[in-house]
Chain A
C-alpha cells in the first residue's frame, strides 16, 4: 500500500467503464449524452480530516468515491534504526513519540521487554501505578478520538467537552511526570520516581468525572439521529477482512473480533482487575465509535480499582547501574489504546538493542482502509477516516 505518489489507481471496473464509454461514443449515439469523467482528488497530505500528513488518492465520480488509495510515509522518522544507536534509557523517550496520543502506553512494552530479558522483578506498587497511568493515558487517547470524530462529522461541541474532561487527567499525569504528551516515566525495573502527594486524589477526580459525564456525551453524539444516519452501515469492515489485515484494538472489536491483550494475554497485573471487553457485531463506523466510547468507562473503572488497591513499597526493582540486556530475544505485546503494540527486541548483550522491531497498531489498521473506502460517498470517506482512529506518528514512526 505504500506506493510512490505518481501511481495512477487503475481498477478493473474503471477500465471497463471507460472502454464502454468510449465504445458508446464511437458508435455515435442519436441522443447527445453528457460527457462525464472521473476526477482524481488528493485528500491530504494537508487535509483537516487526516490528522496529519496522511494522503489519500481518491478517484471520485461526483460525490461517489470509486477508489481510494492511502499513501503513507510522509512522517517516517526511522525510529527502528535510530534506536540501534541509543541506549535503553534514551529509547524510552523515542518510542514514546510514536503514537503521540498515548506516550506512556508506548513506553510500557519496551520496559516489559527489557524486564523479561534482564529478569528484573518489578515491585507491585510500580505495576499498579503502571496500570493506572496506562489506563489514564488510554482515556486521554480515546477522548481525543471522541473529540475528533465528532468534529469530522460537523458536530463541534463534543470536541470541547472531551478536552475539558481530558484536562483533569492530564493534570494528574503532569503532577507525576511533568509531561503532558511525552511522559518518559516508565523505566526498565519500575518507574522514574514515586508519584507526588495529591496525585491519587487528582486522578480519581478526573476519572470519576469522566464516568459521570460520559453518558451525557454519549447522548449528545450517539443518540443523535443525524449521527446515526452518517455512521450506521457506513464503512463496514467485515470480520474476516479485519483478521486478514491484522486489524486490532477498538476497530477490530467493532468488527466483532473479541480480542483484547489485557484479557487474553494479561501483562502487568490486569488479571487482578474487574473490567469488561467491549465489542460490537456490525463493523461499521457506529460500532467502532461505540466500542471506543465504552472503553473509556472500562478504563476509568480500572484506574479506580488500581488506585483503591494501591500497594505501598518501592517503585523500582533491582536494576544494575548500566542497563545492559543480555544476549537473547524477546517479544512483548501490549494493548495500546489503538490496538496491539508489539515489540520484538533482539539484544547481542550491548547497551543498545541489536534490533527493535515495532509492530504498531495504526499501521495495520489503516491498511484495511482501501478495502473499506471502496464505493462510498465523499462524506462517508471522512466518517470512515475518523472512525479508523489512527495516529500518523504511529503509522510512519
Chain B
C-alpha cells in the first residue's frame, strides 16, 4: 500500500486524486438527482404527477434519459463548423465541473493521522478561479450558437454573449464586497470568517441596552447575508442569469428561438449542455451558500461530528436549487432590452456603489456590521426608488371599461 502511495507521489497526490474522483462522481450524481427533483417539484407546482415510471418515484428517469441521449444519433448540420461544433458542448460542461473544486463542502475528516479538508483545492485565489471558470463557460454557449450554421442558434448565441458578458460583470462586482469583508479570496477563509454568532462581532459593544438585546440574538450565525445582503441579491440575480435559466433563459427561449443556441444539438452533445446547465445551477447555489450563508456552518452535535457540516451544506444548497426551480415555475421570460437595462443600468452601478460603501465602512473598524445593515437598507430603498422611477416598470394596469346593457 505504502509503496503504491509513494510511487504515485506521496500522500498529497493520492488524496488529491481521491478527492477529485469523489467530487466528480458526487457532482454528477447530484445533477441526476437535481434534474429529477426539478421535474418532480415543478410537476407538483403545476398540479401534475411528474416522472413516476422508472424506479421509486421515477428517480431513475434522468438515468434513462441519459442513456437514451447517449444512444441517439449524433447529428451535425451540413453548414456547421465541424470542430467548433464538437468543442462547444465540452466547453459548456467542463468549466462548470471544474468550478466545483473551490467549494468547501465540509470541515475536515481525519483518517488515521491524515487530516483531509473537504474541498478539492483550497486556492488562495478561489473566487477569481470561480469567475474565470464561469467566463470560459460562456464560450461554450456562444460557440455553439455560432458553429451551428443556422439562424436560430445564431440569435441564441448573440443573446447569450451579450447577456452572459454583462451579467458576468455584475457577478464579479457583487463578490468584491464579500472579499473586502473577509479579507481573503479563499473560499475556506470566507467560510471561516462567517463562523460564530452575530452578537460576538462588536455589534453594539459598549451600548448598555442594545448590548443585552444583541445578546438575545446570539443564536443567529454571523453570516454575510446580514451585513452583505445587497451584494447577495445582486449575486443571486446575476447568478441566475449566468446559468441561463428562467426568467433569464433568453438564449434558449423555447417559444421564441426553438431551443436557442442548442437547437441543432442532439444526442450526447445536447446532454452535455443539459448537464452543464444543471451543474452550473448547483455551483451557483453552492457559491451562494459558501459566500453568504456560512458554507457548511451549522450546529454540530457530538454524534458523527464530520457528517453534520456536509449535511448542512447539502441542505442549504438544496434550498437554493429549490429557489431556482421555483423561479422557473413562476416567472415569464424577460425581454432582451429589459435584460440589458437591468444588468447595465441597475445591477452594475448598484454593485459599484455597494463596493464603495463596504470599503468605506470597513476602514472604520468598530461596529461595522451594524453600519452595513443600516447602509444596506438605505441603499435598497434608493434602488427601489430608482426602479419605480422608470415608467415602464410601474406599468399601471389598464382601466376597466365595461358595458352592461344594450347595443352601443
Chain A residues within CB distance 8 Å of chain B: 39, 41, 47-49, 62-63, 150-157, 159-161, 164, 220-222, 224-230, 232-233, 256, 258-259, 263-265, 274, 276-282, 286-287, 290, 294, 377-382
* Contact partner, A379, options B329, B335, B402, Cβ 8 Å: B335
Knowing that A41-B151, A63-B337, A222-B397 touch, tell me 19 more A-B residue pairs with CB under 8 angstroms: A49-B256, A63-B159, A156-B46, A156-B328, A157-B42, A224-B330, A225-B393, A226-B247, A229-B392, A230-B338, A233-B392, A263-B407, A276-B403, A279-B401, A279-B402, A281-B399, A286-B398, A378-B256, A379-B333
A229 touches B330 (CB 8 A): no
Within residues 353 to 408 of chain B, which ones have a CB less than 8 A from any CB in chain A? 392-393, 395, 397-404, 406-408
Residue in chain A with minimal CB distance to B338 = A229
Residue in chain B with minimal CB distance to A263 = B407
Do A160 and B46 contact each other (CB < 8 Å), given the known contacts A227-B332, A264-B407? yes
Do A151 and B255 contact each other (CB < 8 Å), given the known contacts A156-B46, A224-B331? yes
State the CA gap A226–B240 with chains docked (Å).
15
From A153, A154, A159, A281, residue with most partner B Cβ within 10 Å: A154
6 A–B contacts, CB within 8 A, in A order = A49-B256, A63-B155, A160-B46, A160-B48, A224-B332, A377-B335
Do A161 and B47 contact each other (CB < 8 Å), given the known contacts A152-B255, A229-B392, A232-B392? yes
**Chain B residues with CB under 8 A of A287:** 398
B246 contacts A by Cβ under 8 Å: yes
A280 touches B401 (CB 8 A): yes
State the CA gap A278–B404 with chains docked (Å).
9
A155 touches B151 (CB 8 A): no
State the CA gap A160–B42 with chains docked (Å).
11
B336 touches A160 (CB 8 A): no
A264 touches B335 (CB 8 A): no
State the CA gap A276–B404 with chains docked (Å).
5
Within residues 252 to 270 of chain B, which ones have a CB less than 8 A from any CB in chain A? 253-258
B168 contacts A by Cβ under 8 Å: no
**Chain A residues with CB under 8 A of B407:** 263-265
State the CA gap A395–B335 with chains docked (Å).
29
A278 touches B400 (CB 8 A): yes
State the CA gap A156–B177 with chains docked (Å).
36
A226 touches B333 (CB 8 A): yes
**Chain A residues with CB under 8 A of B398:** 280-282, 286-287, 290
State the CA gap A319–B400 with chains docked (Å).
45
A259 touches B48 (CB 8 A): no
State the CA gap A227–B398 with chains docked (Å).
14
State the CA gap A290–B258 with chains docked (Å).
27
A154 touches B393 (CB 8 A): no
**Chain A residues with CB under 8 A of B255:** 48-49, 151-154, 382
B158 contacts A by Cβ under 8 Å: yes
Residue in chain B with minimal CB distance to A278 = B402
Listed from nearest, the 8 A-B pairs whose CB atoms lie closest are: A154-B333, A160-B46, A228-B395, A153-B332, A155-B332, A276-B402, A264-B407, A152-B255
A258 touches B334 (CB 8 A): no
From B247, B254, B332, B336, residue with most partner A Cβ within 10 Å: B332
* Contact partner, B330, options A153, A155, A382, Cβ 8 Å: A155
B107 contacts A by Cβ under 8 Å: no
A150 to chain B, nearest CB (A): 7
B406 touches A263 (CB 8 A): yes
A258 touches B403 (CB 8 A): yes
Residue in chain A with minimal CB distance to B47 = A164
State the CA gap A271–B336 with chains docked (Å).
47
* Contact partner, A157, options B46, B152, B335, Cβ 8 Å: B46
A170 to chain B, nearest CB (A): 15
**Chain A residues with CB under 8 A of B337:** 63, 377
State the CA gap A151–B246 with chains docked (Å).
12
**Chain B residues with CB under 8 A of A230:** 332-335, 338
A277 touches B46 (CB 8 A): no
Within residues 24 to 83 of chain B, which ones have a CB less than 8 A from any CB in chain A? 42, 45-48
State the CA gap A125–B304 with chains docked (Å).
76
B249 contacts A by Cβ under 8 Å: yes
State the CA gap A164–B48 with chains docked (Å).
9
**Chain B residues with CB under 8 A of A265:** 407
State the CA gap A230–B404 with chains docked (Å).
31
Contact with A along B317-357 (1 / 0, CB 8 A): 00000000000111111111110000000000000000000
State the CA gap A263–B332 with chains docked (Å).
35
A1 to chain B, nearest CB (A): 23
**Chain B residues with CB under 8 A of A41:** 151-152, 155
B331 to chain A, nearest CB (A): 6
A263 touches B333 (CB 8 A): no
**Chain A residues with CB under 8 A of B331:** 154-155, 224, 226
Residue in chain A with minimal CB distance to B337 = A377
B44 to chain A, nearest CB (A): 11
State the CA gap A274–B404 with chains docked (Å).
8
Do A382 and B256 contact each other (CB < 8 Å), given the known contacts A233-B392, A377-B336? yes
Do A47 and B401 contact each other (CB < 8 Å), given the known contacts A62-B158, A229-B338, A232-B395? no
A109 to chain B, nearest CB (A): 19
Residue in chain A with minimal CB distance to B336 = A63
* Contact partner, A277, options B247, B250, B403, Cβ 8 Å: B403
**Chain A residues with CB under 8 A of B256:** 49, 378-379, 381-382
A154 touches B47 (CB 8 A): no
State the CA gap A382–B408 with chains docked (Å).
33
State the CA gap A181–B47 with chains docked (Å).
23
State the CA gap A164–B45 with chains docked (Å).
13
State the CA gap A381–B257 with chains docked (Å).
11
Within residues 228 to 243 of chain B, which ones have a CB less than 8 A from any CB in chain A? none
B276 to chain A, nearest CB (A): 21
Do A150 and B332 contact each other (CB < 8 Å), given the known contacts A47-B258, A232-B395, A264-B408? yes
State the CA gap A159–B46 with chains docked (Å).
8
State the CA gap A217–B140 with chains docked (Å).
38
A158 to chain B, nearest CB (A): 9
**Chain B residues with CB under 8 A of A226:** 247, 331-334, 338
Contact with A along B296-307 (1 / 0, CB 8 A): 000000000000
**Chain A residues with CB under 8 A of B249:** 154
From B45, B48, B395, B398, residue with most partner A Cβ within 10 Å: B398
**Chain A residues with CB under 8 A of B253:** 154, 379
State the CA gap A341–B332 with chains docked (Å).
33
A154 touches B258 (CB 8 A): no
State the CA gap A216–B336 with chains docked (Å).
28
Residue in chain B with minimal CB distance to A226 = B332
Residue in chain B with minimal CB distance to A229 = B338
Residue in chain B with minimal CB distance to A259 = B408
**Chain A residues with CB under 8 A of B48:** 160
**Chain B residues with CB under 8 A of A286:** 395, 398
A229 touches B335 (CB 8 A): yes
Residue in chain A with minimal CB distance to B392 = A229
State the CA gap A229–B387 with chains docked (Å).
13
A229 touches B408 (CB 8 A): no
A240 to chain B, nearest CB (A): 17
From B47, B247, B254, B256, residue with most partner A Cβ within 10 Å: B256
